[in-house]
Structure 1
Amino acid sequence: MHADTRRQAILDQLRDAAGPISAAALAAKFSVSRQIIVGDIALLRAAGAEISATPRGYVILPAPPGLVRQVACRHDAAGMEAELNAMVDQGCTVLDVTVEHPVYGQLTGPLQLSNRHEVAEFLRRCSQSDARPLSDLTEGIHLHTLSCPDEEAFQRVRAALAELGVLLQA
């Protein structure tokens, strides 16, 4: 298969997928290496494709439904599970995490966590990796972008995070 044809097929797969697709799965489907897929994704992004890399794989994200808001938090690594569960338990999706790096500026990592199972899987991947959370770069200070069904759900998130002692407030 020609590279241009493969890249279009990757784009089609991502558009039709119900969830994220890993680079390894795409590599197996197209009989190429994972690194070829990573390069294809980079070229597709450079051409304007809105492809996000989540912890579970590549995805073309639709515009988030409902209300999109941010919360500022601060906690150590031990507080990550309680923080994430507090947000998804209120019916919100944790879209991403953002930190302010002194050299690179804003760094954002997509999360797309909507329930406790997805939080548990994210934490499992974190524990099996040598990588550290982005918030480790900023002494635990970070932002989360949330998609909430309504303002009431967002206010419940704020209350739950305040109760945990991780919500940064003005």
Structure 2
Amino acid sequence: MDGEERREKILEILKGRDGKVRGSELADRLEVSRQVIVGDMALLKARGLPVMSTPRGYYLDTGHREGYRKTLVCCHDRARTGEELALIISAGGMIHDVSVEHEVYGTLTASLEIRSLEDMNAYLQKMKTKNAPLLSSISGGIHSHLVETKGKEDMDRVEEILRKAGFLYENR
């Protein structure tokens, strides 16, 4: 199977899945290395295809939106990361990404797609296992999350909970 056929097969697999597909699973199924899959995903994205990459796997973003989305600017140190994410989830929010502003590169964004405490725990465990720095470590802890809730009232609740806990970066 050549590269083009492999990328078409990847698209078939992603279209046929309801959830995310791990890169290692794609590599095993297509009998290539994980790095080849990373390159294939970059090529698919370069074609303008809505391939999303998360810590828990790849998926196609269909653009179907039912919820209310808002970018929330937060600030905290590494020790409070789990608390911040758990508060958002417990208030009915889903964390799509994290972004920081870099003085050279501009806005840097990483996809998170944290929808549940299980997703959150997997993310935190991977960060710990890999000893990976938070993206916000380059911006003094200041970062933003694209958060989605079912409606505006739920978003108001997320904001209020984050405000009371001191996470929102407001008037500092």
State the TM bucket, normalised to the shorter chain: over 0.9
DSSP-derived class of the 1:73 partner? strand
Instruction: Give the counterpart letter for 1:155 in structure 2.
Output: D
The answer to whether the 8 Å contact 2:99/2:107 transfers is yes
Correspondence for 1:151 = 152
Could you list the per-position Cα deviations for residues 29-88 of structure 1 after superposition, in whole angstroms to 9, with x for gaps in the alignment? Answer: 001111111111111111111111101111112334211111110000011111101111
Instruction: Give the counterpart letter for 1:165 in structure 2.
Output: G
DSSP-derived class of the 2:12 partner? helix
Correspondence for 2:120 = 119
DSSP-derived class of the 2:130 partner? coil
Stretches of 4+ moved more than 3 A in 1?
none
RMSD: 1.1
Correspondence for 2:50 = 50
Correspondence for 1:34 = 34
Instruction: Give the counterpart letter for 1:12 in structure 2.
Output: E
**Once the two structures are aligned, what percentage of the paired residues are identical?**
35
Tell me the TM-score normalized by structure 1.
0.95
Could you list the per-position Cα deviations for residues 115-146 of structure 1 after superposition, in whole angstroms to 9, with x for gaps in the alignment? Answer: 11111111011100132110111010000001
Tell me the TM-score normalized by structure 2.
0.94
Whole-angstrom CA distance in 2 between matches of 1:62 and 1:148: 18
DSSP-derived class of the 2:131 partner? coil
* Structure 1 stretches lacking a partner, 5+ long: none
Whole-angstrom CA distance in 2 between matches of 1:43 and 1:110: 18
Correspondence for 2:165 = 164
Correspondence for 1:109 = 110
The count of residues paired between Structure 1 and Structure 2 equals: 170
